Amino acid sequence: MAEESPKSIYDFTVKDIGGNDMSLSEYSGKVLLIVNVASKCGLTHSNYKELNVLYEKYKNQGFEILAFPCNQFAGQEPGSNEEIKDTVCTIFKAEFPIFDKIDVNGKNAAPERLLRDMLLLHHLLRL
Protein backbone atom coordinates (compact mmCIF):
# COMPACT_ATOMS: atom_id res chain seq x y z
CA MET A 1 0.00 0.00 0.00
CA ALA A 2 1.40 3.40 -0.94
CA GLU A 3 2.16 5.82 1.84
CA GLU A 4 -0.53 8.47 2.14
CA SER A 5 0.48 11.94 0.99
CA PRO A 6 0.65 14.62 3.68
CA LYS A 7 -2.49 16.71 3.94
CA SER A 8 -1.03 19.23 6.33
CA ILE A 9 2.33 20.59 7.31
CA TYR A 10 1.75 18.82 10.61
CA ASP A 11 1.87 15.43 8.85
CA PHE A 12 5.61 15.78 8.21
CA THR A 13 8.28 14.25 10.42
CA VAL A 14 11.71 15.86 10.27
CA LYS A 15 15.04 15.42 12.03
CA ASP A 16 16.13 17.89 14.66
CA ILE A 17 19.73 19.15 14.76
CA GLY A 18 20.60 16.16 16.97
CA GLY A 19 19.27 13.68 14.39
CA ASN A 20 16.12 12.78 16.33
CA ASP A 21 12.76 12.36 14.58
CA MET A 22 10.36 15.17 15.34
CA SER A 23 6.76 15.40 14.21
CA LEU A 24 5.70 18.84 13.10
CA SER A 25 2.36 18.03 14.73
CA GLU A 26 4.03 19.40 17.88
CA TYR A 27 3.55 22.84 16.33
CA SER A 28 -0.13 22.41 15.50
CA GLY A 29 -2.09 25.59 16.13
CA LYS A 30 0.98 27.85 15.97
CA VAL A 31 2.00 30.40 13.40
CA LEU A 32 5.14 29.04 11.75
CA LEU A 33 8.00 30.79 10.01
CA ILE A 34 9.93 28.07 8.18
CA VAL A 35 13.29 29.35 7.03
CA ASN A 36 16.48 28.04 5.43
CA VAL A 37 19.57 29.31 7.23
CA ALA A 38 23.31 29.38 6.52
CA SER A 39 26.05 30.30 8.98
CA LYS A 40 28.49 31.64 6.39
CA CYS A 41 26.10 33.91 4.52
CA GLY A 42 26.95 37.61 4.41
CA LEU A 43 23.55 38.32 5.96
CA THR A 44 23.84 35.74 8.76
CA HIS A 45 24.39 38.20 11.60
CA SER A 46 21.49 40.46 10.66
CA ASN A 47 19.22 37.52 9.82
CA TYR A 48 19.72 35.82 13.18
CA LYS A 49 19.42 39.14 14.99
CA GLU A 50 16.07 39.79 13.32
CA LEU A 51 14.87 36.20 13.79
CA ASN A 52 15.77 36.41 17.49
CA VAL A 53 13.84 39.69 17.85
CA LEU A 54 10.77 38.18 16.15
CA TYR A 55 10.97 35.02 18.23
CA GLU A 56 11.36 36.86 21.52
CA LYS A 57 8.50 39.23 20.71
CA TYR A 58 5.96 36.63 19.57
CA LYS A 59 6.92 33.23 21.01
CA ASN A 60 4.41 33.55 23.84
CA GLN A 61 1.65 34.33 21.34
CA GLY A 62 1.87 31.06 19.43
CA PHE A 63 4.66 31.98 17.01
CA GLU A 64 7.45 29.54 16.18
CA ILE A 65 10.48 29.72 13.92
CA LEU A 66 11.65 26.45 12.38
CA ALA A 67 15.17 26.84 10.96
CA PHE A 68 16.50 24.35 8.41
CA PRO A 69 20.20 24.78 7.56
CA CYS A 70 21.06 24.21 3.91
CA ASN A 71 24.40 24.22 2.09
CA GLN A 72 22.91 24.52 -1.40
CA PHE A 73 22.98 28.30 -1.53
CA ALA A 74 26.57 29.10 -2.56
CA GLY A 75 27.98 26.55 -0.07
CA GLN A 76 27.30 28.84 2.88
CA GLU A 77 26.46 26.11 5.42
CA PRO A 78 29.40 23.66 5.13
CA GLY A 79 29.59 22.60 8.78
CA SER A 80 28.37 19.48 10.52
CA ASN A 81 25.17 19.58 12.55
CA GLU A 82 27.25 19.90 15.72
CA GLU A 83 29.16 22.88 14.27
CA ILE A 84 25.92 24.46 13.09
CA LYS A 85 24.30 24.01 16.50
CA ASP A 86 27.33 25.52 18.23
CA THR A 87 27.37 28.50 15.87
CA VAL A 88 23.65 29.15 15.93
CA CYS A 89 23.06 28.63 19.65
CA THR A 90 26.34 29.98 21.05
CA ILE A 91 27.33 32.79 18.72
CA PHE A 92 23.91 33.90 17.50
CA LYS A 93 22.01 32.94 20.69
CA ALA A 94 19.09 31.40 18.79
CA GLU A 95 16.46 29.87 21.08
CA PHE A 96 14.12 28.69 18.33
CA PRO A 97 14.36 25.12 16.98
CA ILE A 98 17.16 24.29 14.54
CA PHE A 99 16.72 21.18 12.45
CA ASP A 100 18.96 18.77 10.55
CA LYS A 101 20.82 20.24 7.58
CA ILE A 102 18.81 19.48 4.46
CA ASP A 103 19.03 19.66 0.70
CA VAL A 104 16.13 21.45 -0.94
CA ASN A 105 17.14 20.63 -4.52
CA GLY A 106 18.43 17.60 -6.39
CA LYS A 107 18.45 13.86 -5.81
CA ASN A 108 19.11 14.19 -2.08
CA ALA A 109 16.34 16.71 -1.46
CA ALA A 110 14.56 16.29 1.85
CA PRO A 111 11.66 13.80 1.80
CA GLU A 112 8.76 15.12 -0.24
CA ARG A 113 10.96 18.15 -0.93
CA LEU A 114 9.85 19.21 2.49
CA LEU A 115 9.93 22.98 2.37
CA ARG A 116 8.60 23.31 -1.17
CA ASP A 117 5.80 20.87 -0.48
CA MET A 118 4.85 22.66 2.71
CA LEU A 119 4.68 25.99 0.90
CA LEU A 120 2.72 24.51 -1.99
CA LEU A 121 0.33 22.79 0.40
CA HIS A 122 -0.18 26.02 2.30
CA HIS A 123 -0.91 27.84 -0.95
CA LEU A 124 -3.35 25.19 -2.16
CA LEU A 125 -5.21 25.12 1.14
CA ARG A 126 -5.74 28.87 0.90
CA LEU A 127 -7.33 28.66 -2.58
* Active-site amino acid positions: 41
Contacts of 91 (CB under 8 A, 6+ apart): none
Q: What is the residue type of 119? A: L
Per residue, the 3-state secondary structure of the chain, as one string, reads CCCCCCCCHHHCEEEECCCCEEEHHHHCCCEEEEEEECCCCCCHHHHHHHHHHHHHHHHHHCEEEEEEECCCCCCCCCCCHHHHHHHHHHHCCCCCCEECCCECCCCCECHHHHHHHHHHHHHHHHC
